[in-house]
Amino acid sequence: MLKPCHAVFGFALLLALLGNSRGQSEQQPPNQTTQTERTQDQPAPNQRGTEQSPFVIKIMPSPESKTDTPEGAKASDEKTKLDRQLVAATWVLGGIAFLQFLALVAQAVYVARTIIHGRLVERAYVSGGGAFAGTRQLDTHKIVLQDPFQLTIDNYGKTPARVIDVQIGFCNADNIPPVPRYALTRLIGGVIPPGKEGANTPVRLNRAEIDGDVIFGRFRYRDIFRGRDHHSGFILQIATDRSVLPINGPEAYTDWN
């Protein structure tokens, strides 16, 4: 037979077991709800562009392609007209540019010719001459020409000339070769101002050194325009009284550049 204390202890143990089972059953649902909420809070994966949800691109017709309507046909005509006007304007601008190019070329040619003409007008032009020295005798009042022959330079241009050297040759008046043959070269190295005539040079010759009655020469000089060297020639005849006069000769004796 059970004792009363044993009965009480067993009843208490039964109540404790029942309370623990109820507490676990009450705590379980909140945990399940939290997990469900967490599952619902996560965003669904984006499946656009995949096999499950492919992209769909809808091509809208452009207004220009709508030519089957009156508005589209009018727009197409206006566009064609504008294109033609643009082409015509482009041709007009091209023609104007071409005319401007021709005008620039013509202006350049005119300026170049003006410069060349100005240089020809303003440059130095050198020629030569000379004479024997003279002394006056009081008894006869005549001038007796004596040695040496003094070569002189003339500058008929409008700008100075730097004369570099001169080539000199001799011959007889009755036997002038068609082409000059120069016997000697003498340095000058002097500047002849514009408009100067009869400027003395370092070239002096005795009559015995002149083989014949004709002396000719060619000057080599430069002008202020710093171009190529220029040359000019002269030909002179010595008379019996030693007077010196220019004579005509072949063009090769007096040519210039």
State the chain's mean pLDDT as an integer.
Answer: 78
Report which of residues 197 and 120 the model is more confident about. 197
**Which of 131, 159, 178 lies closest to 230 in space, CA to CA?**
159
pLDDT tens across 71-89, in order? 767 777 788 888 888 888 8
Task: Kindly tell me if the per-residue pLDDT of 153 is higher than 90.
Answer: yes
DSSP track, the chain: ---HHHHHHHHHHHHHHHHHHHHHHHHHHHHHHHHHHHHHHSPPP--BTSSSB----PPPPPGGG-TTSHHHHHHHHHHHHHHHHHHHHHHHHHHHHHHHHHHHHHHHHHHHHHHHHHHHHHS--EEEEEEEEEEEETTTTEEEEEEEEEEEEEE-SSS-EEEEEEEEEEEBTTB--SS----EEEEEEEEE-TT--SEEEEEEE-GGGS-SSEEEEEEEEE-TT--S-EEEEEEEEE-TTS-EEE----HHHH-B-
Determine the average pLDDT of the residues in 163-189.
Answer: 94
Rounded percentage of the chain residues whose pLDDT exceeds 90? 35
Determine the average pLDDT of the residues in 18-25.
Answer: 53
pLDDT tens across 90-118, in order? 898 988 998 888 888 888 887 877 766 66
Report which of residues 80 and 11 the model is more confident about. 80
At the top level of CATH, the class of 126-254 is mainly beta
Separation CA 145–CA 132 (nearest Å): 6
Separation CA 52–CA 62 (nearest Å): 31
The pTM of this model reads: 0.57
